[in-house]
Amino acid sequence: MAILGRHGVGGEMAERLGVYLELLERWGRTHNLVRHGGREELVVRHVLESLHGAGHLGGDRGLLVDVGSGAGLPGVPLLVARPRWRGILVEPRTKRWTFLRLVIRELGLEAEALGCRYDDPCLDGVRPDAVVSRALGGYGALLEWAAPRLEHGGRVVLWMGEAEAETLRSMAQWRVILSPLPDLERSVLAVLQPCFT
């Protein structure tokens, strides 16, 4: 897909993301999956923004849990970029959960989609290496849920507004690294790791 190539994404990753974008556009016509003003915005604002988290997941392989996955953002682009990772895409809304199952099948991702909320029993016993979420809100509750479940060395990666991110700095039980997302005003990538004392 030419738009991805213009932004430095090539090869097999571009092909797989191109399939994902086609599915997003086709399903989006009837199911309102992602708000966007055209393909360029869909790529830059949603897919490329999600890919900024790929280098912050940690090790070479692991288990990623995408909370409130919606249309698969950020989880699907991250799993395409990091193919040795497995994923659980958590989405309680039936139409979006159904879409995620289709995406997983079409892209051949090592992942599953769960039709539940992260604090439901569906994730009991799951020990993720990374919990990711984009524009979910309620981050205090999510971090409280994630802290005892993360594998040692695990992290939480959040896509959020700058004002929301500043509230994370006061969380003493977490080491917080904030970095602005390129080309996106007032958007921040927050990487959090529990402090073990």
User: Does residue 143 lie in a domain region?
Assistant: yes
**15-73 confidence digits (pLDDT tens):** 999 999 999 989 878 887 777 667 777 887 788 999 999 999 988 999 999 999 999 99
User: Does residue 94 lie in a domain region?
Assistant: yes
- Nearest in space to 87 (alpha carbons), one of 95, 99, 101, 98: 101
Say what the pLDDT of residue 11 is. 87
Higher pLDDT, 48 or 185: 48
> Judging by DSSP bridges, how do beta strands 63-67 and 130-134 pair with one another?
parallel
Structural domain span for residue 179: 52-194
User: Does residue 153 lie in a domain region?
Assistant: yes
User: Does residue 82 lie in a domain region?
Assistant: yes
List the CATH number of the domain containing 84: 3.40.50.150
Pick the most confident of 8-12, 35-39, 82-86. Answer: 82-86
The two three-digit tokens of residue 24, written as one number? 């997003």
User: Does residue 87 lie in a domain region?
Assistant: yes
**134-181 confidence digits (pLDDT tens):** 978 788 899 999 999 999 999 999 999 888 888 887 787 899 999 988
Query: CA 100 to CA 117: how far, in whole Å?
Result: 15
User: Does residue 171 lie in a domain region?
Assistant: yes
Are residues 132 and 66 in contact, defined by beta-carbon separation less than 8 angstroms?
A: yes
Q: For residue 94, is pLDDT > 90?
A: yes
User: Does residue 8 lie in a domain region?
Assistant: no
List CB contacts of 169: < 8 A, sequence separation 6 or more: 176, 178
User: Does residue 140 lie in a domain region?
Assistant: yes
Q: How many domains does the chain have?
A: 1
